[in-house]
Amino acid sequence: MKKSLLLIIALGLFLSLNFISATCQLTPQLINQDPYPAVPGDYVKLVFQVTGIQDPTCGNITFQLVPQYPVSFDPGTSSVFTILGGSYATNYNNFLTIPYNVRIDPNAVDGNSTIEFDYKANGINNNIVANFFNLSVQNIKSDFQVFVKNYDYATNDITLEILNIGKNDVQSLTVTVLPNQNNVIIRGPNTNIVGSLSSNDFTTADFNILPNKANIAMTIAYNDITGARRSVNETVTFDPTEFPKPTPSYTGLIIIVVLVIAVVLFIFYRRHKKNKKKKLLRE
C-alpha cells in the first residue's frame, strides 16, 4: 500500500513538472534590422521580440545575442538581458522587445550571415536554447581614386579625374578641396558638384589653383544606393612641373617688326625719290 502511494506521488510530481515545463513557451523573433542591408564596418540596430514572458513558471530568463562573427559589441556594452518570468512589457503586452546596437565585421561578405540569439529560463531546466536568424549584409560603400589629368598655366585650372572603384553606383557626388592647406591656394569655389557616377566609371572636376607643388587633400561625398550620405577623404599629389608650360609665340612680334621695317623703308624710299626729283630740277 505504501509502495503504491509513493509511486502515485512520484508519478504526480513527474507529470506536474512536465506540465510546468510545457507551460513556459518562449518564442524569439528578429523583427527589425536597421539599416537593411547592414554595411561591413558600420553599426546595425537589431530588435528581437520574445513572446511568452508573461508566464511566471519561466522564472529568471536570460537572453543573449552571441558576440561572434559577423557581429561584435563595443567595449563595456553587455550582450545579456535578464527579466523575471511573469513580467509584462510596456502597456501590459505579453511580449518583450530587446534592441541591440552592434558593429558588423569590416570583412563581412555580402549575403545572409547567421547570428545566434540564446535564452535560458531557470523555471524550465536552465539549459541554453539557441535560435538562429539571418542577417543581411552588403558592402554598399564606394571608394575612389583621384588623378591630376591636366593643368593649364594660362588659366590656372587644374582638372582632377575621379574614378569610382566601388561595386555600386553613387548619386549626388561632390568633390571639395579642403581649405587652409600648405601650398594649396584655391581661387573661386572649392566644391565641385559632379552628380551621378557609375561603378568603374570616371568623371572630372575642375578647380582654379595656383601652380604650387603640394599634396591636395579633398573630401568626396556621395549618396549610396540606400540614399544615405557618405564621404571619404582622398589626397592627390600635384606637381606643376609635370605639365609643360606653353611655348611663347613670336608670330605677333615678327609681324610688328616686318611692318615697322616696311614703314621705314617706305619713308626712306619717299625721301630718296623726293631728293632725286629736286636734284633733277636744279640741273
In a domain, 16, yes or no: no
Together in a domain, 91 and 156: no
User: For 249-261, how does the pLDDT look when each residue is reduced to its tens digit (9 = 90+)?
Assistant: 566 777 887 788 8
In a domain, 161, yes or no: yes
Together in a domain, 126 and 159: no
Domain membership of residue 101 as a residue range = 21-137
In a domain, 224, yes or no: yes
What does the block give as the cell for 235?
A: 589626397
Mean pLDDT of 226-253: 85
Together in a domain, 166 and 121: no
Of residues 184, 240, 174, 192, the one with CA closest to residue 216: 184
In a domain, 156, yes or no: yes
In a domain, 9, yes or no: no
On whether the CB atoms of residues 143 and 232 are closer than 8 A, the answer is: yes
Together in a domain, 164 and 97: no
Q: Which of 43-57, 94-108, 215-229, 260-274 has the lowest mean pLDDT?
A: 260-274
Together in a domain, 88 and 129: yes
In this model, does residue 10 exceed pLDDT 50?
Answer: no
Mean pLDDT of 42-60: 93
- Per DSSP, the three-state class of 276 is helix
Beta bridge partners of 57: none
At 202, the pLDDT band (50, 70, 90 cuts) reads very high
DSSP structure class, residue 274: H
Q: Which of 56-60, 170-174, 266-270 has the lowest mean pLDDT?
A: 266-270
User: For 18-31, how does the pLDDT look when each residue is reduced to its tens digit (9 = 90+)?
Assistant: 444 457 899 999 99
CA 271 to chain centre: 83
In a domain, 8, yes or no: no
Mean pLDDT of 132-160: 95
Query: What CATH number does residue 131 fall under?
Result: 2.60.40.10
Together in a domain, 111 and 173: no
Q: How many residues does the chain have?
A: 283
Question: What is this structure's pTM?
Answer: 0.68
What pLDDT is stored for residue 276 in this prediction?
A: 65
d(CA 135, CA 36): 9
Together in a domain, 126 and 155: no
Quote the number of domains for the chain: 2
Query: What CATH number does residue 203 fall under?
Result: 2.60.40.2890
Per residue in 175-192, is it b (16+ CB within 10 Å) or e — as a string? bbbeeebeebebeeebeb
